[in-house]
Homo-oligomer: A and B are copies of this chain.
Amino acid sequence: MAKKIIEPIKGTRDFYPQDQAWQNWLYNKARIVSQSFGYQEYEGPVLEPFSLYAAKSSEEIINKQSFVISAKNKTVQDNLILRPELTPTLARMVASKEYQLVFPLRWWSWGRFFRYEAPQKGRGREFYQWNLDLLGQDCPNADAEVITIGIRFLSSLGFTSNEIVVKVNDRKYLDEKLKIIGIADRKKLAVFRLIDKKDKVSTSDFQAMLSEEGLTKLQAQDLCLALKDTDYSGESAWLTELFSSLSDLGVDDWVEFDQTIVRGFDYYTDTVFEAQSKNNQGRALFGGGRYQNLVANVGGRRNIGGVGLAVGDMMIREALADLNCLPILSSLTAQVLVTVFNEELFRHSLLVADQLRKAGINIETYLDYQTPLAKQLDYANKKKITKVIIIGPEEAVVDKVTIKNLSSGQQKLVKQKDLISELKK
């Protein structure tokens, strides 16, 4: 009886060469824009202590959507977690070298993250994320730079401000509103979490949820009104400077002030932002914000604030697919196959292949000399390799090789010493 093929875990992905070519393409887009602004690549562990996230990240993500590994050694207090996001790791790394690192510090990273949530379009249990952060420069211009980098990235993928809007808010500005409405400081994070979900529920449900948190009907109504406010001028110097800087950076047609944007992480203190697809239920393509206390929260002694963004690979892919903008990529690495005529000429073929490799040309060699030439050509055709090199006894004796072009069908006899220049043509 034939066995069933073992299935991968739900929400994980296999990256066949074609898929990996896409991942590499996306990584390179992120790398190029990060480097153009002088950001340096870094990476953290996949396994982190649970305590790193507890009470500093997002309650929902940490308690409901994380892969947790129980500590084997029972004297170890801490369980392990598969990182659901990178900012706490960044804060930990910065804190532990806070007196050696040079600030302002510009870092970016590309890595894997894990969330135990129901897989759906654009969301998996394993995904890649691009993170970019600027620490130790506490001015709205820093936030404007990070937002601009996110926009430049989307623009390099083919998106325009016709499809994308980046909604920007300031939690501090919203804090003030909450104070005026008379919402106690201790209720702030809970109210922020509800605002973050506002889009997904009706106005009456939203008000009911606020009332559950202990807000009066009037407070709830006032909050709904405040969230509709679109004019910060005269009230927020921070937002005024931020939007002016975004304009200086040439991205004003992409950005928009929106009081309902708060983002899901508890550590954000000031600017928060989210890039949304205009024609797709506001799907978020990137998000981020400023965190002034996170480095200190993980044990740092210096008061180092930062601002950062994160972009997931799966949402980007979905959004590009919706626009019919997915790039056509080849996963082929060698354009040339050196065939092998028979056992006697095997070594000869290997030597030719090696000579070409040393000249920087990627070469596949057919290794089974018992396979008829026709079948070797068949393999090259199936693989879409464009050129095949044949060295039969007649060619070998006069130090020549035949180059066969599989797309045109033409073939050419060239001297072995001219082969490199011929292939590089």
Contact present for A9 and B114 (CB under 8 Å): no
Bound Cα distance A141, B349 (Å): 12
Contact present for B38 and A364 (CB under 8 Å): yes
Copies in the complex: 2
A280 within 8 A of B: no
Contact present for A357 and B37 (CB under 8 Å): yes
A7 within 8 A of B: yes
Contact present for B44 and A14 (CB under 8 Å): yes
Residues of B within 8 A of A107 (CB): 17
Contact present for A35 and B333 (CB under 8 Å): yes
Contact present for B3 and A299 (CB under 8 Å): yes
* Interface flags, A241-258, vs B, CB<8A=1, else 0: 000010011100000000
Binds B, one of A67-75, A178-186, A211-219, A405-413: A67-75
Known contacts A3-B299, A142-B367, A298-B5; A41 and B20 CB within 8 A of each other: yes
Name A343-381 residues within 8 Å CB distance of B.
346-347, 350-351, 354, 357, 360, 362-370, 379
Size class of the contact patch on chain A:
35 or more
* Interface flags, A70-103, vs B, CB<8A=1, else 0: 1010000000101000000100110111000011
Bound Cα distance A367, B357 (Å): 47
Which of A's residues lie within 8 Å of B, judged by CB? Answer: 2-9, 12-17, 19-21, 23-24, 34-49, 51-52, 67-70, 72, 80, 82, 89, 92-93, 95-97, 102-104, 106-107, 112, 114, 116, 125-126, 137-139, 141-142, 145, 245, 248-250, 298-301, 331-334, 337, 346-347, 350-351, 354, 357, 360, 362-370, 379, 382-383
Known: A9-B47, A68-B69. 17 other contacts (CB 8 A): A5-B299, A9-B45, A9-B80, A17-B41, A19-B42, A37-B362, A38-B337, A47-B67, A104-B379, A106-B364, A112-B112, A137-B368, A138-B368, A145-B365, A245-B346, A248-B347, A248-B351
